[in-house]
Amino acid sequence: METLLQQIVNGLVVGSVYALVALGYTMVYGILGLINFAHGDVLMVGALVSLQVVLFVQKTWPALGAFPTLLIALVSAMAVCMAMGYIIERTAYRRLRNAPRLAPLITAIGVSFLLQTLAMIIWGRNYHSFPQLIDTTPLQPIAGVFITPVQIIILLSSACLMTGLILLVTRTKLGRAMRATAENHRVASLMGVDTNKIIATTFVLGSALAAIAGVMFSTNYGVAHYAMGFIPGIKAFTAAVLGGIGNLGGAMVGGIVLGLVESIGAGYLGSMTDLCNLPVWAQTANLQETCSNGGSFELLSSNYQDIFAFVILGIVLIFRPTGLMGERVSDRA
Amino acid sequence: MKHTLIALAVLGVTSGLAQAQEVVKIGHVGPLTGNIAHLGKDNENGARLAIEEYNAKGVTIGGKKVTFQLVGEDDAADPKTGNIVAQRLVDAGVKGVVGHLNSGTTIPASRIYNQAGVPMISPSSTNVTLTNQGFATVFRTMANDAQQGSVIGKYAATKIGKTVAIIDDRTAYGQGLADEVDKAVKAAGGRVSSREFTNNQATDFLAILTKIKSQKPDVIVYTGMDAQGGPMLKQVKQLGITAKFVTGDGGCTPEFIKLAGTAISDAAFCTQAGLPLDQIADKTFKDRFKKRFGADVQIYAPYSYDAAAAIIEGMKAANSSDPAKYLPFLKKVDFQGVTGEVAFDAKGDTKYGAITMYQFKDGAWVALK
C-alpha cells in the first residue's frame, strides 16, 4: 500500500511538471493550430538561465537566503524566456502564419535545433549540477510515503499556476480575446481584437510557464543540461494530445494522467506480469527453479514503461480521437 | 648515372620540402553532442594529445616525415549516426580509428571498419561482444565487461550485501554489463531481487526506485552513464532508501559526484576498467592534459591516448601507414603507454586489463585496494 501511495505521489509530481509544459503546447495549438516543437527547449533555456543567475547571485550576495535567490533566478528566467518566446513567434512563425501547415512545423523543429545548439555554445556540453537551494532530503514520512519540500512546492505552485491560467482565459478581457482569436482570427480582428498581439501574448505566456517548469525540473533533479528539454518536451506533447490538444483543462488532466500512468506502469508492470505470481503458469512453464527463493520471471518489466504510456495514449485516441477532454479540438484556447 | 641519382635525390628533397610533410589521417569518433558529450570530448582530447605529442616529437615512416592529423567525428551516441560517420571516415581515407565511445555504436561500426580493413581501437567500449565478432581490425585498450561485471557482482554480493537490485539503461553497454553483474551475483551466492530498466535519456527514476525499495535489497547496482547515475543516487536518498549504490565505469567520473550533490556518501561505489588516474604509469599525463585542454580528465582520456599511440606505434613498427601493412604489426605492438604497458591478445582485447573498485570518500572517488 505504501508503495502504491509513493508511486502516486511520484506520478503527481512528474505529472504536474508535464502539465505545465503541456499548457504551452496546447495554448499555441489552440490559437494557431501549430505544434511548437521548440517549446521543450524553452524549458531548457529557463533552467540554464536560472542556473546562471543563481550562481551569480550566490557569488555577489552570498548573504541572501535560498528563497530570495531562487525567486530572483525564477523571475529572470521567466523574463528571458518570455522575450525569447516573443522573438520566436515574431521571427520564425508570424511570416508563415498563412503558409501550409508543414512549413511552420519544420520551422519549429529548426528553432528547437537552433536553441539547443546556441545553449551548447553558451553553456557547453557538460551536465551542470543545479545548486541545492531547497532541501531535497525527504520530510518525515507520512504513512510510509516520502516527499521532499521541493516536491511539495512543485505540486502547490503548479496547481496555483494552472488555476491562474484558467481564470485568465475564462474571466479576463485578454482571455476573451484569446478565445476569440482561437475561434477565428480573421473574424476576431474584424471585431477589433489585435490578433498579432494576442498570439504574441500566448507565446509569451507559454514560455513563462515553460521557464517555471524548467526551474522546477532543475531544482528537483539537480541537473541542467543543454539537451534536457527534449524528453519533457516530448512527454508534455504526449500529455497535451492525451488530454485533447487545444484544450487547457485537457493539458492539465493529460499531464497528471501521463505522470501517474508512467509511475504506476513502471512500478507494477513487472509484478503484474510476473509468472511466479501465477502458480499454474509457473508450473507449465517449468519455472519452479527460477521462482524459488523469491525469484521472479517478469514477462514485461520497467523496460516497457514508455510503451505502457503510449499504449494508453493509443487506446484513448482510438475511443476518443480528440483526446480525453477535447471535444471541439482547435476551437479552444 | 651518378648525376641522375643526385638529381633525383635533390628532386626528392625539394619535393619533400614542397609538400612539407606527408599527412596521415587518424579518425576519432565519440558523442560530441547529446547528454554524454562531455565523455566524448574527453576521449577525443586524449587522442588529440597523443597525436600532437607524436607530431611534436616527429615521426618518420617509410623514410618520410609524417604529420598525423586527427579527424574528429560526432556519433551522438547513436548507432545509426555511428555507422554514417564510420563510413565517412573510411571514405575520407583515415588510416586508423580511435573509437567509438559507446559499445552500442562501436559494435555496428566495427563491421564497416573491418570491411574497409581500417584498424579500430576503442578506448572505452567495454561490451564483451565487440571483440567476439572475429574481426581482425578490432582492438580495445581497457578491460571488458565480463571482467568488470564479475568484480561488481562479487563485491556487491559478498562484501557489502547479499541481495542486489540491478538497473540498466538498455544500451549495449548497460545491458551487457548488467547481465555480467547478474551472473556474478548469483555465482557468488547472492540474490538478484529485481532487474529494472530505464533509458539513457531519462531523469526521473522514482517509479523504479520505489519498486526496488519495496523489495528491500542491500545493494543497488546501476550500469549506465554518470548523467543518469548522479541524479538517480539523489532520488535513492529522496525515497529514504539506505541500500548501497554501485555503478560501473560509466558513472566513475567527477561529473557523477557533482550531479549527486549532497546525496553521495561512502555508501557509493564505482568501478573503472583500468587504473586510477593517479596510478597510471605516466604521472604527468593529468597535468599535460589539463594544461592543453583546460579540463580535467573524465575517465578514458588516457586510454584514448594509448589507442592513438598504439596506431602510431604500429605504423612505426611496420614502417608504413598503409592499414593492410601495419595491421599485423599493430597486433604485436608492445610499448609503454601513458596507462602502462599496451599490448593486445589474439582477439584484440588488452592483455593488461585492470579493474579498480572505488568508494566515495571526502569529495572524491578513492581507489580501494
For A198-222, what is the mean pLDDT?
A: 93
The verdict on a CB contact (< 8 Å) between A127 and B227 is yes
The verdict on a CB contact (< 8 Å) between A301 and B32 is no
For chain A, helix (H) and strand (E) counts, in that order, are 13, 2
For A39-53, what is the mean pLDDT?
A: 95
**Binding-face residues of A in 105-124 toward B, CB within 8 A:** 120
Backbone dihedral region for residue A323 (phi beyond 0: left; psi -120 to 50: alpha; all else: beta)? left
Would you say the pTM of this structure is higher than 0.90?
A: no
Query: Which member of A7, A148, A294 has the closest CB to residue B238?
Result: A148
pLDDT score for A329: 46
Ordered alpha helix ranges (H), B155-282: 172-187, 206-215, 226-238, 254-260
In chain B, the percentage of residues whose pLDDT exceeds 90 is 56
Handedness of CA A222, A226, A231, A232 (dihedral sign): positive
Mutate to test the interface with B, among A1, A3, A6 (most CBs of B within 10 A): A6
Radius of gyration of chain A (CA): 22
Distance from CA of A309 to the nearest CA of B (A): 13
pLDDT surpasses 80 at A192: yes
The verdict on a CB contact (< 8 Å) between A227 and B208 is no
From CA A248, how far away is CA A28, in angstroms rounded?
11
For A134-152, what is the mean pLDDT?
A: 83
Q: Which of A108-117, A194-203, A288-297, A309-318 has the lowest mean pLDDT?
A: A288-297
Which three cell numbers mark B137?
A: 581490425
For B300-329, what is the mean pLDDT?
A: 94
Contacts of A302 in chain B (CB under 8 A): 196-198, 207-208, 211
Burial of B242 (0-12, 13-18, 19+ CB in 10 A): exposed
* B39 CB-side CA count, 13 A: 29
Q: Using 50, 70 and 90 to split pLDDT, how confident is the model at A331?
A: very low
Question: A136 touching B, CB under 8 A?
Answer: yes
Query: Which member of B38, B198, B204 has the closest CB to residue A125?
Result: B38
pLDDT score for A278: 67
* A118 CB-side CA count, 13 A: 14
3 state DSSP class of B64: strand
Amino acid found at B305: Y
For B37-49, what is the mean pLDDT?
A: 93
pLDDT score for A282: 59
Between helix B323-332 and helix B301-318 the angle, nearest 10°, is: 110
Which three cell numbers mark B62?
A: 617509410
The CATH superfamily holding the domain B21-143+280-342 is Response regulator (3.40.50.2300)
E-strand ranges in chain A read 128-129, 223-224
Query: Which member of A148, A221, A264 has the closest CB to residue B203?
Result: A221
pLDDT, mean over chain B = 88
A200 compared with B34, residue with greater pLDDT: A200
The DSSP symbol for A298 reads B
pLDDT score for B331: 93
Q: Using 50, 70 and 90 to split pLDDT, how confident is the model at B368?
A: confident
Which three cell numbers mark B102?
A: 559507446
From CA A97, how far away is CA A82, in angstroms rounded?
20
Mutate to test the interface with B, among A9, A14, A123, A125 (most CBs of B within 10 A): A125
pLDDT score for A289: 62
pLDDT score for B3: 55
- Do B24 and B54 form a contact (C-beta atoms < 8 A)? no
CATH of B145-273, one of 2.60.120.380, 3.40.50.2300, 3.40.50.620, 3.40.50.720: 3.40.50.2300
From CA B369, how far away is CA B364, in angstroms rounded?
16
Closest chain B residue to A303 measured between Cα atoms?
B197
From CA A30, how far away is CA A246, in angstroms rounded?
4
According to CATH, the topology of domain A2-331 is: ABC transporter involved in vitamin B12 uptake, BtuC (1.10.3470)
pLDDT score for B1: 47
Query: Of A110, A218, A227, which is closest to residue B34 (Cα–Cα)?
Result: A227
pLDDT score for B8: 47
Contacts of B261 in chain A (CB under 8 A): 129, 132, 136, 222
pLDDT in tens, B199-258: 888 888 998 999 899 889 999 999 999 889 999 999 999 898 999 999 998 888 888 998
Question: A219 touching B, CB under 8 A?
Answer: no
pLDDT in tens, A251-306: 999 999 999 988 888 878 777 777 666 666 656 666 666 666 556 666 677 777 77
Question: A140 touching B, CB under 8 A?
Answer: no
Between helix A195-221 and helix A149-171 the angle, nearest 10°, is: 170
pLDDT surpasses 90 at B34: no
Q: What angle do CA A275, A279, A282 make, to 5 degrees?
A: 50
Contacts of residues A253-256 at CB distance under 8 Å and 24 or more positions apart, as own/partner, are A253/A324, A253/A325, A254/A18, A254/A19, A254/A22, A254/A323, A254/A324, A254/A325, A255/A15, A255/A16, A255/A17, A255/A18, A255/A19, A255/A20, A255/A21, A255/A22, A256/A11, A256/A12, A256/A15, A256/A16, A256/A18, A256/A19
Q: Which residues of B touch A (CB under 8 A)?
A: 32-35, 37-38, 41, 170, 191, 193-199, 201-204, 206-208, 210-211, 213-214, 226-227, 230-231, 234-235, 237-240, 255, 258-259, 261-263
Contacts of A266 in chain B (CB under 8 A): 207-208, 211
A324 compared with A291, residue with greater pLDDT: A324
The verdict on a CB contact (< 8 Å) between A302 and B230 is no
pLDDT score for A266: 82
Closest chain B residue to A8 measured between Cα atoms?
B207
Q: In this complex, how many residue pairs, one in chain A and one in chain B, have their CB atoms less than 8 Å apart?
A: 125
Closest chain B residue to A124 measured between Cα atoms?
B38
Mutate to test the interface with A, among B45, B211, B262 (most CBs of A within 10 A): B211
From CA B138, how far away is CA B315, in angstroms rounded?
16
The verdict on a CB contact (< 8 Å) between B204 and A221 is yes
Query: Of A131, A165, A127, A157, which is closest to residue A27 (Cα–Cα)?
Result: A165
> Which helix (H) or strand (E) element contains residue A193?
none
The DSSP symbol for A28 reads H
- Do B311 and B26 form a contact (C-beta atoms < 8 A)? yes
Contacts of B228 in chain A (CB under 8 A): none
What string of DSSP letters covers B120-135? EEESS---THHHHS--
Contacts of A305 in chain B (CB under 8 A): 197, 207-208
Closest chain B residue to A293 measured between Cα atoms?
B191
**Binding-face residues of A in 251-270 toward B, CB within 8 A:** 262-268, 270
Which three cell numbers mark A52?
A: 546562471
Contacts of A308 in chain B (CB under 8 A): none
The verdict on a CB contact (< 8 Å) between B207 and A301 is no
Contacts of A270 in chain B (CB under 8 A): 194, 196, 211
The DSSP symbol for A91 reads I
3 state DSSP class of B25: strand
pLDDT surpasses 90 at A13: yes
pLDDT score for A294: 58
pLDDT surpasses 80 at A137: no
B335 compared with A137, residue with greater pLDDT: B335
From CA A220, how far away is CA A13, in angstroms rounded?
10
pLDDT score for A281: 64
The verdict on a CB contact (< 8 Å) between B227 and A225 is yes
Q: What ipTM was reported for this prediction?
A: 0.84
Cα distances (Å, whole numbers) of residue A99 to A299, A331, A332, B120, B346: 48, 20, 21, 49, 62
pLDDT score for B324: 93
Query: Of B104, B112, B111, which is closest to residue B76 (Cα–Cα)?
Result: B104
pLDDT surpasses 70 at B6: no
Domain with CATH 3.40.50.2300 in chain B: 21-143+280-342, 145-273
Distance from CA of A256 to the nearest CA of B (A): 15
For A54-77, what is the mean pLDDT?
A: 91
pLDDT surpasses 50 at B163: yes
Q: Using 50, 70 and 90 to split pLDDT, how confident is the model at A162?
A: very high
Question: A196 touching B, CB under 8 A?
Answer: no
Query: Which member of B34, B208, B262 has the closest CB to residue A132?
Result: B262
Q: Which of A131-135, B2-6, B72-76, B282-286 has the lowest mean pLDDT?
A: B2-6
The verdict on a CB contact (< 8 Å) between B207 and A10 is yes
Q: Please enumerate in sequence order all residues whose Cβ is within 8 A of that of B188, keeping only pairs 6 or more positions apart, or say none.
A: B153, B154, B157, B158
pLDDT surpasses 70 at A199: yes
What is the bridge-based pairing of β-strands B219-223 and B163-168? parallel
pLDDT score for A265: 83
- Do B266 and B359 form a contact (C-beta atoms < 8 A)? yes
In chain A, the percentage of residues whose pLDDT exceeds 70 is 90
Q: Please enumerate in sequence order all residues whose Cβ is within 8 A of that of A296, keeping only pairs 6 or more positions apart, or say none.
A: A270, A271, A274, A276, A290, B194
Q: Please enumerate in sequence order all residues whose Cβ is within 8 A of that of B207, keeping only pairs 6 or more positions apart, or say none.
A: A7, A10, A11, A262, A263, A264, A265, A266, A267, A302, A305
3 state DSSP class of B298: coil
- Burial profile B86-99: b = 16 or more Cβ within 10 angstroms, e = fewer: beebbeeebbbbbb
Give phi and psi for B223, each to the nearest 5.
Answer: -110, 105
Q: Using 50, 70 and 90 to split pLDDT, how confident is the model at A109?
A: very high
From CA B152, how far away is CA A81, in angstroms rounded?
45
For A229-239, what is the mean pLDDT?
A: 90
The DSSP symbol for B319 reads T
The verdict on a CB contact (< 8 Å) between B203 and A120 is no
The verdict on a CB contact (< 8 Å) between B170 and A265 is no
Contacts of B193 in chain A (CB under 8 A): 294
For the ranges A173-187, A308-322, B9-23, the maximum mean pLDDT occurs at: A173-187
